[in-house]
Amino acid sequence: MSEPPVLIDARPTYRIITLNRPSRLNAVTIELHRALADALDEAEADKTCRSILITGSGRGFCAGQDLSDIDPPTADKPADLGLLIDGHYNPLIRRVRALPMPVVCAVNGIAAGAGANIALACDIVIAARSASFLQAFAKIGLVPDSGGTFFLPRLIGEARARALCLLAEPISAETATDWGLIWKCVDDAELTNEAQAICERFGEAPTRSLAMIKRAFAASAYNTLDAQLDLERDLQREIGRGSDYLDGVTAFLEKRKPAYKGRA
């Protein structure tokens, strides 16, 4: 029997989702897309799941689209890559951004093409020191997709974003950290422990407030300051009526640890 394209490890408060096509650096096939979508559905439906950790098996994180899993274009029959993007990549990126819990990405090796941008869509990106990030698209005559031209200029500024996409040269995890593309890089041997420690911490966090923080950041990409101030007020009003805030403040005043309810 062949290996599943995605492995799922359900921990008490979080899911580890591992892209699992190591011989192809976890390049994405339609089958992998479907398995990943199912894994995200299942994690969201489970109210005990308070964060998600995405990583890759083997020496790569994800080499983007599996270039052998698409009908090769011919002069008579050019490709319609829009179908693939509408059907799979765009729903995936929208999904990760909209999930009501933090998504941590542990980049264990090269993240190329859509693989790099799937990582950037996650809320916290932590990479192994030996990992690298490559906007590979221009190397094969394509344009960045999966949100690359949205995330990159916002994270690292337009000068660096343009050069990364136009030159299609890789940058190391250390440079990615220095430029603010990712949260941090750690020694390879520490990646799993560090990423899981973040998820363990989210297992005790006020998950509803974290979900609202995601909503606020999503809106800040296009809001004016006035609109964002109004949104923050509305979110604060809503979250302030909940039990986690009540317990958070009470615990602070009583000098004890809060017991946040998560998504229950």
Give the nearest distance from C-beta 205 to ligand T3D in angstroms: 32
Cα 44 → chain centroid:
15
Please choose, from the candidates 64, 63, 84, 57, the residue with its C-alpha nearest in 3D space to the C-alpha of residue 73.
84
171-172: strand order across its sheet: 60-62, 110-112, 132-134, 171-172
Q: Which is nearer to ligand T3D, 169 or 194 (CB)?
A: 169
133, 137, 151, 260: which one binds ligand T3D (CB under 6 A): 137
- Piece in contact with ligand T3D (CB under 6 A), picked from 6-14, 31-39, 121-129, 134-142: 134-142
Q: In this chain, which stretch among 41-49, 97-105, 133-141, 152-160 interacts with ligand T3D, using CB under 6 A?
A: 133-141
Q: Which is nearer to ligand T3D, 114 or 205 (CB)?
A: 114
Q: Between 81 and 216, whose beta carbon lies closer to ligand T3D?
A: 81
d(CA 263, CA 211): 10
Helices (H) and strands (E) counted in the chain, each on its own, are 11, 10
From the list 1-9, 94-102, 129-137, 237-245, the region that binds ligand T3D by CB under 6 A is 129-137
Beta bridge partners of 28: 65
- Binding residues for ligand T3D, rule CB under 6 A, total 23
Q: Does residue number 244 form part of the binding site for ligand T3D (CB under 6 A)?
A: no
CB atoms within 10 A of CB 56: 26
Q: Is the dihedral of CA 253, 255, 261, 262 positive or negative?
A: positive
Give every CB contact of residue 76 below 8 A, 6+ residues apart in sequence.
none
DSSP code of residue 73: P
Q: Which stretch binds ligand T3D (CB under 6 A): 37-45, 61-69, 188-196, 204-212?
A: 61-69
Footprint on residues 68-87 left by ligand T3D (CB under 6 A): 68, 70, 81, 84
119 touching ligand T3D, by CB under 6 A: no
Asked if residue 67 binds ligand T3D (CB under 6 A), the reply is yes
Closest approach, Cβ 63 to ligand T3D, in A, equals: 3
63 lies in the binding site for ligand T3D (CB under 6 A): yes
Smaller CB distance to ligand T3D: residue 12 or 141? 141
134 CB neighbour count, 10 Å cutoff: 19
Q: Does 27 help bind ligand T3D (rule: CB under 6 A)?
A: yes
> How many angstroms separate the CA atoms of 96 and 83, rounded?
20
Q: How far is the CB of 199 from ligand T3D (least distance, A)?
A: 26
Alpha helices in 113-170 (DSSP H): 114-121, 148-156, 158-167
Q: Are 105 and 54 in contact (CB under 8 A)?
A: yes
Does 161 participate in binding ligand T3D (rule CB under 6 A)? no
Sequence letter at residue 110: I
Chain residues in the site for ligand T3D (CB under 6 A): 24-25, 27, 63-68, 70, 81, 84, 110, 112-114, 134, 136-137, 139-140, 142, 145
